[in-house]
């Protein structure tokens, strides 16, 4: 009986795991892409804040709405095909909201050193970004059977690879600014 209750709790607690991880990862990556691109191009830290914040909310909103449209399209298709089922009980509005919130909350991480006006802002942003990737990835183990360090390392590697691409492109294009 206890096993069944624990399984039910894991099922409910992981209901929006895909949206949380997808939103958080993309929020961190795209915000850090702005930070890395601006740093690679050797532009002012104030530009990081302006572009990073604008990107954070605009892209977060876009991700949430894209999630909503995707979920609604799937539901409409299943109804048209006569295969509609309660599926996982997720509401398109809820998945959109979860994606948006995860994007915005996690996406602040690369901007924090700039918001706090700390010295060596880009270096600190790299560290904060890496730690955030690892922490978000590791948190997946709360609702999965995988080891926390495996989940954390996986998200860290994927996220930092994307961040490296952004920095290299900014560095290559710095002469245009």
Q: Where are the domains of the chain?
A: 2-175
Instruction: Give me the phi and psi of 108, to 5 degrees please.
Output: -70, -25
* pLDDT 10s digits, 2-15: 344 334 444 566 88
At 147 the pLDDT is 96
For 45-99, the DSSP string reads HHHHHHHHHHHHHHHHHHHHHHHHHHHHHHHHHHHHHT----TT---HHHHHHHH
Is there a contact between 123 and 167 (Cβ–Cβ < 8 Å)? no
Tokens of 26: 């993309």
Is there a contact between 66 and 19 (Cβ–Cβ < 8 Å)? no
* pLDDT 10s digits, 84-97: 776 567 889 999 99
pLDDT at 100 over 70: yes
- What mean pLDDT is reported for the chain? 87
Is there a contact between 37 and 169 (Cβ–Cβ < 8 Å)? yes
Average pLDDT, stretch 23-41? Answer: 89
Instruction: Give me the phi and psi of 157, to 5 degrees please.
Output: -65, -50
DSSP for residue 15: T
Query: pTM of the predicted model, to two decimals?
Result: 0.84
Q: Look at 26 and 172; give whichever has higher pLDDT.
A: 26
Average pLDDT, stretch 28-48? Answer: 88
* pLDDT 10s digits, 109-120: 999 999 998 888
Is there a contact between 38 and 47 (Cβ–Cβ < 8 Å)? yes
Percent of the chain with pLDDT over 70: 90
């Amino acid at each position: 009986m206890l096993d069944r209750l624990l399984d039910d709790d894991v099922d409910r607690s992981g209901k929006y795991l895909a949206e949380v991880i997808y939103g958080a990862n993309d929020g961190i990556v795209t915000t850090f892409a702005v930070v890395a691109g601006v740093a690679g191009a050797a532009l002012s830290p104030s530009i990081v804040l302006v572009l990073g914040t604008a990107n954070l909310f605009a892209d977060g909103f876009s991700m949430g709405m894209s999630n909503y449209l995707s979920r609604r399209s799937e539901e409409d298709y299943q109804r048209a095909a006569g295969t509609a089922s309660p599926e996982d009980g997720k509401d398109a509005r809820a998945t959109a909201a979860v994606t948006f919130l995860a994007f915005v909350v996690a996406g602040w991480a690369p901007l924090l050193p700039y918001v706090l006006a700390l010295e060596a802002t880009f270096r600190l942003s790299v560290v904060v970004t890496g730690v955030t990737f690892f922490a978000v990835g590791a948190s997946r183990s709360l609702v999965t059977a995988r080891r926390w360090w495996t989940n954390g390392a996986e998200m860290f590697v994927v996220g930092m690879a994307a961040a490296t691409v952004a920095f290299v492109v900014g560095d290559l294009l710095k002469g245009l600014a």
